Structure 1
Amino acid sequence: MKIISFKPDHDGTIAALDASAAELIYSYEAEKDSFPRYSTITPSAVLEAAGRLDAIPDVIALGGWSIMGTTGERPIAAGYYGLGQGSEVVGETTIFGRKVNFYSSTHERSHLWCSYGLSPFPLGIPCYALIWEGGLGDFYEIDERLQVVHLGRVMENPGIKYALLYALADPKFTFPKGHTRREDAGKLMALCAYGQIGSPDRDEQALIDLLLPSDLYPLSKEDLQNSPYYNIGVTHQRFTNLARRVSDAMFHSFHTFAKKNLTKGYPLLISGGCGLNCEWNRRWVETNLFSDVFIPPCTNDTGSAIGTAVDAMRHFTGNAKIKWSVYSGQPFVFDEIDHTGLEVHPLDYNQVASALLADKVIGWVQGNCEIGPRALGNRSILAAPFSKATHERLNRIKNREAFRPIAPVCLEQDVGLHFDLARPSPHMLLFQKVLDRRLEAVTHVDGTARAQTVSREQNPRLFQLLTSFKAKSGVGVLCNTSLNFNGAGFINRASDLLAYARAVGLDGFVIHDNFYLLQTTSRTT
Structure 2
Amino acid sequence: MRIMSFKPGHDGAIAALDATAAELIYSYEAEKDSFPRYSTITPITVLDAAGRLDALPDVIAVGGWENIGRSVAAGYYGIAQGSDVVGEKTIFGRKVHFYSSTHERSHLWGSYGMSPFPVGMPCYALIWEGDLGDFYEIDERLQVVHLGKVMARPGSKYAFLYALADPKFTLPKLQLRYEDAGKLMALCAYGQTGEADRDEQALMDFLLPRDIVLYSLGKEDLCDSPYYNIGVTHQKFTNLAKRFSDAIFDSFHTFAKKNLTKGYPLLISGGCGLNCEWNRRWLETNLFSDVFIPPCSNDTGSAIGTAVDAMRHFTGKAKIKWNVYSGQPFTLDEFDRTGLEVHPLDYGQVASALLDDKVIGWVQGNCEIGPRALGNRSILAAPFSKATHERLNRIKNREGFRPIAPVCLEQDVALHFDLARPSPYMLFFQKVLDSRLEAVTHVDGTARAQTVSRDQNKRLFQLLTAFKAKSGVGVLCNTSLNFNGAGFINRASDLLAYARATGLDGFVINDAFYLLKGPPVA
Which of 166, 171, 174 lines up with 1:170 in the alignment? Answer: 166
The residue that corresponds to 1:134 in the other structure is 130
Question: C-alpha displacement at 1:215, in angstroms?
Answer: 2.2
In 2, the alpha carbon distance for the partners of 1:314 and 1:403 equals 44
**8 A contact 2:363–2:510 mirrored in 1:** yes
Please tell me whether residue 431 in structure 1 is matched to residue 429 in structure 2: yes
Please tell me whether residue 524 in structure 1 is matched to residue 521 in structure 2: yes
Please tell me whether residue 418 in structure 1 is matched to residue 416 in structure 2: yes
The residue that corresponds to 2:20 in the other structure is 20
Question: C-alpha displacement at 1:216, in angstroms?
Answer: 4.1
The residue that corresponds to 1:62 in the other structure is 62
TM-score (norm 1): 0.98
SS of residue in 2 equivalent to 1:520: coil
In 2, the alpha carbon distance for the partners of 1:408 and 1:215 equals 37
Question: C-alpha displacement at 1:86, in angstroms?
Answer: 2.5
User: What per-residue deviation string (whole Å, max 9, x for no partner) do you get for residues 325-372 of structure 1?
Assistant: 000000000000101000000000000000000000000000000000
Partner amino acid, structure 1, of 2:396: K
In 2, the alpha carbon distance for the partners of 1:384 and 1:422 equals 23
Question: C-alpha displacement at 1:214, in angstroms?
Answer: 4.5
Map 1:41-56 to 2 at 5 A: 41-56=41-56
Question: C-alpha displacement at 1:524, in angstroms?
Answer: 2.9
Question: C-alpha displacement at 1:114, in angstroms?
Answer: 0.5
The residue that corresponds to 1:4 in the other structure is 4
Partner amino acid, structure 1, of 2:489: I
The residue that corresponds to 1:346 in the other structure is 344
The residue that corresponds to 2:90 in the other structure is 94
Map 1:28-427 to 2 at 5 A: 28-68=28-68, 72=69, 74-217=70-213, 218-427=216-425
Number of residue equivalences: 520
TM-score (norm 2): 0.99
**8 A contact 1:110–1:304 mirrored in 2:** yes
Question: C-alpha displacement at 1:220, in angstroms?
Answer: 1.7
In 1, the alpha carbon distance for the partners of 2:243 and 2:458 equals 41
Please tell me whether residue 508 in structure 1 is matched to residue 521 in structure 2: no
Question: C-alpha displacement at 1:85, in angstroms?
Answer: 2.8
**8 A contact 1:379–1:482 mirrored in 2:** yes
Question: C-alpha displacement at 1:437, in angstroms?
Answer: 0.3
In 2, the alpha carbon distance for the partners of 1:454 and 1:326 equals 13
* Cα RMSD, aligned residues only: 0.7
SS of residue in 1 equivalent to 2:189: helix
User: What per-residue deviation string (whole Å, max 9, x for no partner) do you get for residues 134-176 of structure 1?
Assistant: 0000000000000000000000111100111001000011001
User: What per-residue deviation string (whole Å, max 9, x for no partner) do you get for residues 245-288 of structure 1?
Assistant: 10000000000000000000000000000000000000000000
Question: C-alpha displacement at 1:223, in angstroms?
Answer: 1.2
User: What per-residue deviation string (whole Å, max 9, x for no partner) do you get for residues 186-231 of structure 1?
Assistant: 1111100000121100000111111110524332211111100000
Partner amino acid, structure 2, of 1:285: L
**8 A contact 1:412–1:455 mirrored in 2:** yes
Cα separation, partners in 2 of 1:266 and 1:214, compared to 1, 3 Å: farther
In 1, the alpha carbon distance for the partners of 2:278 and 2:324 equals 22
SS of residue in 2 equivalent to 1:405: coil
In 2, the alpha carbon distance for the partners of 1:430 and 1:519 equals 38
In 1, the alpha carbon distance for the partners of 2:430 and 2:228 equals 33
Partner amino acid, structure 2, of 1:241: N
In 2, the alpha carbon distance for the partners of 1:520 and 1:504 equals 14
**8 A contact 2:124–2:266 mirrored in 1:** yes
In 1, the alpha carbon distance for the partners of 2:504 and 2:300 equals 28
In 2, the alpha carbon distance for the partners of 1:252 and 1:189 equals 16
Partner amino acid, structure 2, of 1:25: I
Which of 489, 492, 497 lines up with 2:487 in the alignment? Answer: 489
In 2, the alpha carbon distance for the partners of 1:465 and 1:524 equals 25
Q: Which moved more, 1:220-229 or 1:256-265?
A: 220-229
The residue that corresponds to 1:454 in the other structure is 452
SS of residue in 2 equivalent to 1:319: coil
Question: C-alpha displacement at 1:124, in angstroms?
Answer: 1.0
Partner amino acid, structure 2, of 1:404: R
In 1, the alpha carbon distance for the partners of 2:308 and 2:171 equals 36
